[in-house]
Amino acid sequence: METTAINAKPFLRWAGGKKWFIKYLNDFLPVKFNNYHEIFLGSASAFFNIPAKSYKAAYLSDVNEDLINAFVQIKENIAGLIKILNEFKNTEAYYYKIRNQHDHSDPVFRAARLIFMNKTGYNGIYRVNSLGRFNVPYGHRENVDFVSEMNLLEVNKKLANANISNIDFEEAIAKVRKGDLVFIDPPYTVAHENNGFIEYNKKLFSLDDQIRLSKAIQKIISKGAYYLLTNAKHEKILEIYSHLQRPKILERHSHIGGNGAKRENIKEYIFTNCIK
Ligand SMILES: C[S@@+](CC[C@H](N)C(=O)[O-])C[C@H]1O[C@@H](n2cnc3c(N)ncnc32)[C@H](O)[C@@H]1O
């Protein structure tokens, strides 16, 4: 596949982000495809690493409303968004003042709020309480450039031919056509190599959702489109996706934080029908 300089970078830090996968991405992409779909968008690390000239249009979606609103505002209201961000201050008191504005009605303000809290909050995680209210504490990252104006302007250009939707993956897959490529990075339901659970959102991505996804991938295949699915290496996952071609296994380093922090090697599955 032809490569060009990639300027726009992810503007959010996101749990389960696929930054580690980027060095392998080209090995898995089909030589040629029509539209590009990313249906569990998060920070969109894969999308930002696929040159715009390799696809006709991009279809980007996620069920997280705040996240999708941020992409939409960068696309449609970039000047207003940057103006609001430039008015924010990176202090503890100001952070909590902004964090308390849960119900602000202006979508541009809400996008600025998410970007600001994501960059200045603790560990860059998106976490909400049972009422759906962002509850991450202040991160004391006083020197961080939370506006990143140059990058936001590049992201705005990159989104020019993107359709952005706040929808469930099944609805997103309904838009896939023959020859399209779908990048699929669901929340990991099972922890790697054991039976623990990992939570990203208010609603956990359950084993039933994984089964629903495996059926939806069958639809992608029937349409004559390509899929690229990442998932935790786990027996249960192999069982649920047993109708797909056997996965490749990739290994990556992971830093497990907290007391007794350690580095671990983690194995991931890559399922795909992209044949070079
Ligand atoms: C592992 S993250 C994606 C990370 C992304 N690839 C990146 O590089 O940042 C999974 C995403 O799936 C989204 N999600 C969870 N359930 C979903 C559903 N039913 N349909 C669509 N998106 C969903 C979450 O909001 C989350 O952003």
The minimum-distance atom of ligand 1 relative to the CA of 205 is: 16
- Domain regions of the chain by residue span: 19-63+167-272, 68-155
| Residue 130 confidence (pLDDT) | 82
Both tokens of 221, joined, read 């295949």
User: What are the tens digits of pLDDT across the range 75-120?
Assistant: 999 999 999 999 999 999 999 999 999 989 999 999 999 999 999 9
19-63+167-272 — its CATH code?
3.40.50.150
- Ligand 1 atom 8: residue of nearest CA: 17
- Can you tell me the mean pLDDT for 223-244? 95
Q: What percent of the chain has pLDDT over 70?
A: 89
| Residue 261 confidence (pLDDT) | 58
Q: How far is CA 180 from the centre of its chain?
A: 19
- Can you tell me the mean pLDDT for 152-167? 97
How large is the greatest C-alpha to C-alpha distance in the chain, in angstroms?
A: 54
* pLDDT > 70? residue 67: yes
In Å, what is the CA distance from 58 to each residue of 36, 108, 170, 231? Answer: 5, 22, 17, 22
| Residue 127 confidence (pLDDT) | 84
Q: Which residues line ligand 1 (CB under 6 A)?
A: 14, 16-18, 39-40, 42-43, 45, 62-64, 168-169, 185-187, 200-201, 205, 209
* pLDDT > 70? residue 126: yes
- Can you tell me the mean pLDDT for 129-147? 92
pLDDT classification of 2: cutoffs 50, 70, 90: very low
Pick the CATH number of 68-155 from 3.20.20.10, 1.10.3860.10, 1.10.1020.10, 3.30.70.260: 1.10.1020.10
In Å, what is the CA distance from 160 to each residue of 56, 151, 156, 163? Answer: 11, 14, 7, 9
| Residue 201 confidence (pLDDT) | 42
* pLDDT > 50? residue 1: no
pTM, full prediction? 0.93
| Residue 132 confidence (pLDDT) | 84
